Amino acid sequence: MTTETTRLPAVGNLPVSASPAFSNDDLALIFGTCLPYPALVIDPEAGLLVAGNAKLCSLLGIEYMELEPPGIGWEKLIVPGDRGIFHTWERTLSGTNELEFEIRFQTILGARSAQVFLSAFLWHQRRYLIGFLREVSAAERQEEEWKRQFEEQKQRAFEAIKSSLRLYQFNEKIRRTPLLTRKLLHAANEEELFEQAAGVLTLEEGLGYKNASFLLLDGGSLRLAFSTQPAAESSYSLTDDNRFTRFIRRNFKSGGSSGSGILVPLESRGNLLGFCEVVPHSKEKVFFDEMGVVSEWQREVLSDIGGIIGLILDNLRLNREIKRQSIIDPLTQAYNRHYFVSRLTAEVERSIRYSRPVSVLFVDVDQFKLVNDQHGHLQGDEVLRSVGKLFKVCLRDVDVVCRYGGDEFIVLFPETDLEMARCAAEKLLRTVGSHKFPVIDDPEKTLQITLSMGLSSLKPGMRDDALLKAADEALYKAKSRGRNCLEVVE
């Protein structure tokens, strides 16, 4: 997410009116009436909000007339737990310096977070605070937190690499290992990470082990993610008696023996992600077993490498989740509109290039406004969530389901002609129509929900916008016919 930089205007040369009391007229005089941000002026000595524009009133849910002299109490607009934050920052203002911080405001819609850009100025020899607000959504805060964690983990990985492999001077291989391990930071996905890590562990220019395997926790089992040993089993149950469960019962001693090899936990932020198992060559195993110091060195090296791999693996998963959230509608778990448009363009281009069919289905939840009006928005959300699940039940994995907006969905059918798409749409229509949607406040009662649909397939000379328009017009006809039906553009 790109954060927009907001700058306060210079306050040293503000025009001064004849009136000593600052007002909305003065605010308009200074900034004009088209300021794109909520703007405010505070009299900190009196504890009053004395001026603000229409955007501020809209954000805070207050009437414009309330800002007429003498103004309204400033503190009551801030969530009690955040008032101390405001006063702490306000006391640090001096001269013309500017501050930026985030607090929560109390509105008729509940607490809403906003970034505050604040500066102090003098008006008729009286000190005022002037500022702008930028509302911060929950999605923005979530994304910023994910990015912060991602950068923090990445920095920790760099630090781990710099401090790892303390015994590198002991062996020529160890002197080469840090450079090889550093390259793991550039892995684009888990498969690439494990393939490169296996190279660090097994190649002659790396540590030279005979084999290396990576197993990841997957529910109640360990799933083999990568191995240089072709005959390795694909999964191991954590309820069975095997070398991994025996190792876990022995309290996770890093670098402990698993019988044929050495097991190293892959951990990050205190969570076990899986294991790395390395198998040394038979002669090296004898040497390690006989030389206690060398064996201890080996365990430390493998433990450091395992820690690095665990950190990078956690980073990759965090980054993957960030990307997933950027294209997924959080309520229905369908794709969002932005992702759908890019996929539609790509599928239409492919369809035209290779003369392959592609179809689009517009879907509208019938009388959805009545559900919200009669049962509340929570019930409406539950209906949309359930409809999203029914889409997944009825359609193929390759079909792209998108929440287009509000109660509208749209489905992209790749490699699907009109008749095949019609069959899928009719199945969806029947499934939703026969499904019992429970009432949240009274589970004994159910709602009947129906859909209106418009279906179109790509025809010669069509582009993506024409395909969408045809399906949208078909949806309009279906609703005109009385809803709960499918209209197909032949």
Task: For residues 165 and 305, state if they share a domain.
Answer: yes
pLDDT at position 46, please? 83
Residue 86 has pLDDT above 50, yes or no: yes
| Domain presence at residue 237 | yes
Burial 335-361 (b: 16+ CB within 10 A, else e): bbbebbeebbeebbeebbeeeebbbbb
Task: For residues 358 and 472, state if they share a domain.
Answer: yes
* Average pLDDT over every residue of 384-410: 95
pLDDT at position 172, please? 56
pLDDT digits (tens, 9 = 90+) for 268-289: 888 889 899 888 876 655 545 5
Do 142 and 148 meet the contact criterion of CB atoms below 8 Å apart? Answer: no
Cis ω for the linkage preceding 9 (within 30 of 0): no
pLDDT at position 389, please? 95
| Domain presence at residue 14 | no
∠ CA 462-466-468, rounded to 5°: 125
Residue 385 has pLDDT above 80, yes or no: yes
What are 97's two structure tokens?
A: 């310096």
Stretch among 16-30, 49-63, 250-264, 294-308 having the lowest mean pLDDT: 16-30
pLDDT digits (tens, 9 = 90+) for 144-202: 667 777 777 767 665 554 444 434 434 556 566 666 677 888 888 989 999 998 888 88
Task: For residues 372 and 317, state if they share a domain.
Answer: no
Count Cα neighbours of 39 within 13 Å in the Cβ-side half-sphere.
Answer: 23
| Domain presence at residue 3 | no
Task: For residues 204 and 294, state if they share a domain.
Answer: yes
Task: For residues 224 and 187, state if they share a domain.
Answer: yes
Q: Check which CATH number belongs to the domain holding 362 and give it.
A: 3.30.70.270
What are 159's two structure tokens?
A: 């630090």
pLDDT at position 162, please? 46
CA end-to-end distance (rounded Å), the chain: 43
pLDDT at position 470, please? 95
pLDDT at position 18, please? 40
| Domain presence at residue 70 | yes
| Domain presence at residue 309 | yes
Q: Check which CATH number belongs to the domain holding 216 and give it.
A: 3.30.450.40
Q: What is the DSSP string of 388-404?
A: HHHHHHHS-TTSEEEEE
Residue 245 has pLDDT above 70, yes or no: yes
Residue 29 has pLDDT above 50, yes or no: yes
pLDDT at position 31, please? 56
From 301, 324, 347, the end of a domain falls on 324
From 270, 289, 324, the end of a domain falls on 324
Residue 72 has pLDDT above 50, yes or no: yes
**High-pLDDT (> 70) share of the chain, %:** 78
pLDDT at position 164, please? 44
Of 124, 119, 126, 127, which Cα lies nearest the Cα of 10? 119
pLDDT at position 259, please? 57
Task: For residues 119 and 149, state if they share a domain.
Answer: no
User: Which single residue is written with the structure tokens 């670098």?
Assistant: 255
Domain coverage including residue 404: 337-488
Given pLDDT bands bounded at 50, 70 and 90, which one contains residue 100?
confident
| Domain presence at residue 18 | no
Task: For residues 298 and 429, state if they share a domain.
Answer: no
| CA 283 distance to own-chain centroid | 49
Task: For residues 304 and 169, state if they share a domain.
Answer: yes
pLDDT at position 185, please? 84
Distance CA 455, CA 476 (A): 11
* Average pLDDT over every residue of 398-406: 94
How many domains, in total, are found in the chain? 3
∠ CA 394-400-403, rounded to 5°: 90
Task: For residues 375 and 393, state if they share a domain.
Answer: yes
Task: For residues 229 and 347, state if they share a domain.
Answer: no
| Domain presence at residue 331 | no
Beta-strand ranges (E) seen in 185-333 are 211-218, 221-227, 235-237, 256-257, 262-268, 271-279
From 324, 358, 375, the end of a domain falls on 324
| Residue of higher predicted confidence among 309 and 95 | 309
Task: For residues 173 and 129, state if they share a domain.
Answer: no
Distance CA 350, CA 463 (A): 11
For residue 406, give the amino acid letter: G
| Domain presence at residue 7 | no
Q: Check which CATH number belongs to the domain holding 92 and give it.
A: 3.30.450.20
pLDDT digits (tens, 9 = 90+) for 37-54: 788 888 888 888 888 888
Task: For residues 433 and 349, state if they share a domain.
Answer: yes
Distance CA 231, CA 224 (A): 11
